[in-house]
Each structure stands twice: as structure tokens, then as C-alpha cells.
Amino acid sequence: MPTLTDQQRKFYETSLQVTKQEIGELKDQIEEELSKVKDRIAELQTAINASKQMYSAACARLGIANDLEDEESGE
């Protein structure tokens, strides 16, 4: 491998630092987005659970079988 000049060495060292910093920033952005997605999934799961409770109560008041419970037990 040919020897690098001082200018080339400085260029590559700077490139290493800049790209390493960019990678770190991108990883941080990924973590932020992932956290948002996890929070949204938790909100949706809470909404599903609340709706299931209401559905179950309506089935009980009507005296009919809860077909959602049957579907879940079959999964």
C-alpha cells in the first residue's frame, strides 16, 4: 500500500471522525423513532383492551356468546 501524504492522512482521519459521528446520530434517531412506535403500539393495545371489555360487557348484557373470546382462544 502506498504511503499517504500528510494531507491524505488528515483527510481520511477527518472522514473517520465525521462518519463515526453521523453513525452515532443516526443510531440516536433510530432509537427515538423506535420509542415513538413502541409508545403508539402501547396506546393502540390499551384501546383494544378497553374495546374488548366493552364488547364483553355488551355480550353479557345481551346474553350472547362473546365471539371475540372464541376467536382469541383459537389463535
Q: Where are the domains of the chain?
A: 45-75
Q: Whole-structure pTM over 0.75, yes or no?
A: no
pLDDT of residue 70: 72
Alpha-carbon gap, residue 14 to 7, rounded angstroms: 11
Q: From CA 42, how far away is CA 6, in angstroms rounded?
A: 54
Higher pLDDT, 69 or 42: 42
pLDDT tens-digit map of 12-67? 999 999 999 999 999 999 999 999 999 999 999 999 999 999 999 999 999 999 99
Q: Which residues are within 8 A (CB) of 69 and not within 5 positions of it... i.e. 6 or more apart?
A: 56
pLDDT of residue 37: 98
